[in-house]
Amino acid sequence: MILSIYHEIVKLTSQKKHYIMLLGFAFLMVLMVFLFRHIHEDLEKQSGEMVGQMPLMLRLMAPDPVKLCDGLMFSRFTGYILFWVVMPIFAFMFAGESIAGEQQDGTLKVYLSRGFSRTRLVIAKFISVSLIILFYSMVFAALTMLIGITFFGFSKMQISLFWGNPGDPSTMTTVGLVSAKRAIWAYFASALYASFALSSISSVSFMISVFVKRMSVAATGGMVFFFVSFILQIVFARYATEIEPFLITRVMDGYSQVYALENIDWSSIVKSFAVMCLYWSVCVTVPVVMLNVKEY
Amino acid sequence: MSDYVLTVENVVKSFGKFRALDGASLAIPKGCIFGIIGPNGAGKSTLLRIVTSLAHPDSGRVTVNGIDVETNPKKALKGTGAIVDSPSFFPDLSARLNLDILSRGTGARYRKRRDELAEYTGIAGWLNHRVREFSLGMKQRLAITLALLPDSEFVILDEPTNGLDPSGIVDIRNLIRNLGAELGTTVLVTSHMLGEIEKICSNIAILNHGKIAADGTMEEILRRSPVTLIRTTEPDRAEAVLKEKFGTRILSVKAKEDAPGVLRVETESECAAELNEALVKNGFAVSMLENEPDRLEKLFLELTGGESVVRNEVRA
């Protein structure tokens, strides 16, 4: 199995879409630095006014709010866009490539004609996609923090944010202060959590990829599923209570929890992991069955 | 242990109402180069896909080295290397990595065999190049190397000379011939090029409408109705003499339409020398006597009802 996973990783990492990923990430960084610089300037202009509006505790602990808007804050802020929008697209691309891409170029047929275990092949493919997502999640998280600190410096105190879910009235957005060390831990823990969530999100494309012969179709199918789930969860959650707990976007709920590292609602985390396991098991079992019975 | 590497017994395979294989049966002896020839749509690729477990038969049985491919594909295909359809590789990976990944070979012994086979097939200097840079002929060589790895004793090649230029066809043909002679590998080749099959294979099967119309060694197949072409004086009288002398041993004698003065004599068995002797003794001057070329083509056309095939003209 280890040899199979290694081969799958070699195959995936040889593709040119990695350059697209790196370019996409670089473009996001440029945009975010530009945006954050403007936020920084605005904060400097409104500093006195803002301090007056801050809660008393926060005012005592952090008399200069501009300093709170540092590189670590930049990376935590950017992380949301990175893991909610950019990384899912990359994850769909890799998962879609895994089986459909090989059907498209004929290499899957070469492999299958040799009588190798198809079950092992599917599992190795999925594990390799998950490992690549994990690798890029952690590397991009580290690079984002490095870029943030380079451009916006580093503060010993950090704002602790817990983003409430707009579709869930029981969650509220709360603000507090934590040490930088704790914030760094929270940041990387949330990146790790996001990589798990992305792995289960990408499994939808992985499952579709066994039915189609084009990687683009599998990737697009996964994206459509993800964004429809997103709209359902955000806009129509109250009208779709039966299916809402099983939406693929639910797995990202835990990201906010881990992001704050405070007052973690463990039952929510467990629910998110349960949904992840549901998608993992269904979206890997179906390709295993299909690859074993389908004719090529 | 079976004497046959591959046995196909009454295999039936349908796609909707179309019956691609209709009770096809054949057996491939160890160590031979076996060619399957048939017109487009005869069922060649379907048969190979079933043999390599890429497709499942509706009924019938396929065994490789005595092991059922349908019930135990992993074990049955362990020593089998197959390239079905055109050779496909990962274009951005080196030839070496392609071989390692697609054959799942590891270890020092494997690496030694891989390098030796690459030397043998003429791609040793290209192992570190990306497959994207390979010509079709190089890809075919790489495909044959892959089919032989890690320890294949039975190699299946689907239309291996397809799309190659004349020198490439000769190279691949020689390579396949040598596989059997030098490495002792059993090779199954499919083609719609009669000339290629005739030059490469020791045994052939003619597949038509999903059925094996004829199979056996090349000699057996061609011996079915030997035809001798004779250019002589007075062909009409010579025809009467031959009919009288040989009786039922001659199946037919007729003047060759496109060659005036030439008789086309179809006999039960090979007897060109006797025909010559009889004519000379009866005072005929024989200026040409030869076995009819393209006998395989003629036999093929007879068996398949004249469906299209390609007569390949590349000479070794």
Task: Supply the CATH number for residue B257's domain.
Answer: 3.30.70.100
Partner-chain contact A296 B49, CB within 8 Å:
yes
Which of B53, B83, B97 faces A10 most closely, judged by CB atoms? B97
- Considering the domain boundaries, does residue B315 fall inside one? no
| pLDDT for the residue numbered B312 | 46
**B207 and B246 fall within a common domain:** no
Pairwise CA distance, residues A256 & A194, whole Å: 10
Helix A71-81 and helix A17-45, axial crossing angle in degrees, nearest 10: 130
Instruction: Select the highest-mean-pLDDT range: A152-156, B10-14, B85-89.
Output: B10-14
- Considering the domain boundaries, does residue B297 fall inside one? no
Residue A286 confidence (pLDDT) above 90 = yes
At which of B222, B244, B277 does a domain end? B222
* B70, B58 contact by CB (below 8 A): no
| Residue ranges of domains in chain A | 2-293
Pairwise CA distance, residues A49 & B310, whole Å: 88
Partner-chain contact B92 A110, CB within 8 Å:
no
Strand partners, B206: B37, B214
CB atoms within 10 A of CB B166: 12
Q: Which residues contact A294 (CB under 8 A, 6 or more apart)?
A: A210
User: Bigger pLDDT: A251 or B104?
Assistant: B104
Q: Is the peptide bond before B87 cis (omega within 30 degrees of 0)?
A: no
Residue A165 confidence (pLDDT) above 50 = yes
**B56 and B82 fall within a common domain:** yes
Residue B255 confidence (pLDDT) above 60 = yes
- CA separation, residue A158 to residues A36, A56, A62, B252 (Å): 16, 16, 9, 102
Which amino acid, residue B278?
A: A
- CA separation, residue B196 to residues A115, A245, B36, B90, B205 (Å): 29, 63, 11, 29, 14
- Considering the domain boundaries, does residue B298 fall inside one? no
Partner-chain contact B93 A113, CB within 8 Å:
no
**B209 and B125 fall within a common domain:** yes
At which of B177, B195, B222 does a domain end? B222
The mean-pLDDT minimum among A84-98, A211-225, B287-301 falls in B287-301
Interface of B with A in 163-222 (CB under 8 A): none
**CB pairs A-B closer than 8 Å:** 77
**Tens of pLDDT along A3-49?**
888 888 888 878 777 788 889 899 999 999 988 888 777 777 766 56
Residue B181 confidence (pLDDT) above 70 = yes
**B208 and B237 fall within a common domain:** no
ipTM summary value: 0.76
| Distance in Å, alpha carbon of B109 to nearest chain A alpha carbon | 17
| pLDDT for the residue numbered B311 | 47
Region B25-37 average pLDDT = 88
**B233 and B136 fall within a common domain:** no
Pairwise CA distance, residues B64 & B77, whole Å: 7
Which of B73, B74, B88 faces A110 most closely, judged by CB atoms? B88
Backbone angles phi, psi at A40, to 5 degrees: -60, -45
- Tell me the average pLDDT of chain B: 82
Looking up residue B105, the CATH number of its domain turns out to be 3.40.50.300
For residue A170, give the DSSP letter.
Answer: T
Residue B87 tokens, joined: 């050779």
Partner-chain contact A109 B102, CB within 8 Å:
no
| pLDDT for the residue numbered B215 | 83
Pairwise CA distance, residues A206 & A136, whole Å: 18
Pairwise CA distance, residues B312 & B196, whole Å: 7
- Considering the domain boundaries, does residue B256 fall inside one? yes
The mean-pLDDT minimum among A134-138, B61-65, B192-196 falls in B192-196
**B153 and B65 fall within a common domain:** yes
Pairwise CA distance, residues A138 & A140, whole Å: 6
Q: Which residues contact B245 (CB under 8 A, 6 or more apart)?
A: B278
Indicate left, alpha or beta for A104 from its phi (over 0: left) and psi (-120 to 50: alpha).
Answer: alpha
User: Structural domain tally of chain B?
Assistant: 2
pLDDT above 90 as % of chain A: 19
The mean-pLDDT minimum among A148-157, B85-94, B118-127, B255-264 falls in B255-264
Residue B118 confidence (pLDDT) above 70 = yes
pLDDT band at A138 (very low <50, low <70, confident <90, very high): very high
| pLDDT for the residue numbered B315 | 44
pLDDT band at B316 (very low <50, low <70, confident <90, very high): very low
SS3 content of chain A, % helix, strand, coil (to 5): 80, 5, 20
- CA separation, residue B40 to residues A125, B304, B308 (Å): 36, 11, 8
- Tell me the average pLDDT of chain A: 81
| CB contacts, 8 Å: B105 with chain A | none
| Distance in Å, alpha carbon of A115 to nearest chain B alpha carbon | 4
Partner-chain contact B77 A115, CB within 8 Å:
yes
**B16 and B149 fall within a common domain:** yes
**B150 and B196 fall within a common domain:** yes
Indicate left, alpha or beta for B150 from its phi (over 0: left) and psi (-120 to 50: alpha).
Answer: alpha
Pairwise CA distance, residues A68 & A120, whole Å: 49
Q: List strand residue ranges (DSSP E) for chain A, in order.
A: 157-162, 174-179
* Nearest-Cα residue of chain B relative to residue A15: B92
Owning domain of residue B150: 4-222
* A251, A204 contact by CB (below 8 A): no
Interface residue B54 vs chain A (CB under 8 A): yes
Residue B193 confidence (pLDDT) above 80 = no
| Distance in Å, alpha carbon of B260 to nearest chain A alpha carbon | 53
Interface of B with A in 69-108 (CB under 8 A): 73-78, 80-93, 97, 100-104, 106
- Considering the domain boundaries, does residue B308 fall inside one? no
**B52 and B23 fall within a common domain:** yes
For residue A261, give the DSSP letter.
Answer: -
Nearest residue to B38 via CA among B315, B314, B301: B301
Pairwise CA distance, residues A106 & A123, whole Å: 20
